[in-house]
Chain A
C-alpha cells in the first residue's frame, strides 16, 4: 500500500495513473450532479420561507465548500512540498489554485444572485461569509499572481507555499472579525442555519459529493499538465512522447 503511494509521488507513475483514474472520478461525479440537480430543481418541495429561490443552495453550497477545500489542498500541498520537498506536491498546489478561484468566483456570484431576491441587495458588506469568500478570492489571485511573477519554478513554489499558509490563518481571522462587526450592526442572519428536512438535505449532500468527485478529476488533469510541463526535459517524457507520436 505504501509502496503504491510512494510510487504515486513519482512523476511518470502519477502521469500514467491519473489518466486512468480521472474518468472514474468524473463520470460518477457527473451522474451524481445530474441526479441531484434534477432532484433539487424539480422534486424537492419548496421551502416555506424562501420559496423556490432556495434551490440555488444546490449549486451555491457545493461551490463554497469546494472553494475552501481547494484552498486547504493548495496550502497543505504547499506545506508538504516545503517541508518534505516532494516535487509533485508543489504541482498539486499549483493545479488547485485556478480551480479553487473559479469555484470561489462561482460561490460569490451565486451567493449574490441568491441574496438579491432574499434580502434586497446584490451585496452585503457586513456578512461574514460573503467577506470571507471575497478575501479567499483575493488570496487566490495573489497566489496565482505571485506564482506567475517569479520566473524560477522552485522559488515560485516555495514563495507561494509560504503565502498560502499565511492566508489560512487570515481567512479564519477575517471571518471572526467580520462576524464581530456585523453583530454590532444588527446581525443580518444571511443563511438561516436551521435544520433541513431530510428530503432537502440528501440531494445537497449528493451534490457536494458529486462536485467533489468532479473537482478531483479536474484537479488530476491540471496536475498532469503541471507534471508534464515541469518534467518536459526528462528522459521519461521524451520516451513517452516519442513512443506515442500524435496521441495525448
Chain B
C-alpha cells in the first residue's frame, strides 16, 4: 500500500484537496435538494390555498 496517510510530506495538501472535493460536492447536492424541497413546498402551499378557496 503506497501512500499511507502522510503522503510523503504532502499529506496536508493531498488530503485537503480530497476533503474540499467531498465538501463541495456534498454541499452542492444538499443545496440542490433544499431548493427542490422549498420549491415543492411553495407550490404545494399555493395550490392548497387555491383549492381551499374554490
Contact = CB atoms under 8 A, between A and B. Distances in A.
Given A51-B8, A218-B29, A248-B37, A110 B17 contact: yes
Given A42-B1, A242-B51, A52 B18 contact: no
Nearest to A50: B10
Interface string A171-197: 000000000000000000000000000
A76 interface: no
Interface residues of B, number: 35
B7 A55 contact: yes
Given A99-B28, A218-B29, A241-B47, A37 B8 contact: no
Interface residues of A, number: 42
Contact of B20 (A41, A110, A218): A110
Interface of A: 37, 41-46, 51-53, 55-56, 59-60, 63, 98-99, 102-103, 105-106, 109-110, 113-114, 116-117, 214, 218, 221-222, 224-225, 228-229, 232, 237-238, 241-242, 245, 248
